[in-house]
Amino acid sequence: MVKEMGSGVFSGCINLKSATLSDGIEDIGSSTFSGCVNLEQVYIPNTLLHLPHFTFEGCEKLEKLDIPESIRNIDYNCIVKCNTIRTLVVPEGVVCLEYGAISHCSSLESVFLPSTISSLDEGLFNGCPNLKTVIIPPGTKAKFLQMELVFLKDKLIFSQIE
């Protein structure tokens, strides 16, 4: 059984439309799907613990990304230039969104963050001109929010679900 994949395994596969990562995969290298401009859907198993940098960079036709609850960290520049994603749900369990983890997604309108999030780095949501709402559930550690509210205050509506 394959447990890990090296960097750039599918990088630049312009004809790739869908992909299924096998159950049991624990680690993927950076840039796994980078430049897969026609990728529309991908299955990520619950055995993967983090999404490395540039995993989905330039996946222009990826409309929906189901991130499994096993993911703890989304690395810098992971979901970049995914121009058809409108809504993104970051699942419970994710504790860190690194610098620019979600950026330059021109159609992104709303993001749902988990209560487990404790770190949001600068540059998050850069280049997402249509992003209007970021939902933060009650009980979320608020230590990181002050910087982000100031940084993004004119652009986003931060809401808490009750």
Amino acid, res. 120: L
Residue type, 32: T
Dihedral of alpha carbons 85, 86, 89, 94, sign: positive
pLDDT computed for residue 142 by the predictor: 44
Q: What is the pTM of this model?
A: 0.87
DSSP H or E stretch at residue 119: strand 119-120
Mean pLDDT of 108-119: 89
Domain ranges of the chain: 1-162
- Please determine, looking at this structure, whether the domain spanning 1-162 carries the CATH number 3.80.10.10: yes
pLDDT value of residue 159: 47
At residue 157, the pLDDT reads 47
Write the CB contacts of 7 (distance below 8 Å, at least 6 apart in sequence).
29, 30, 31, 32
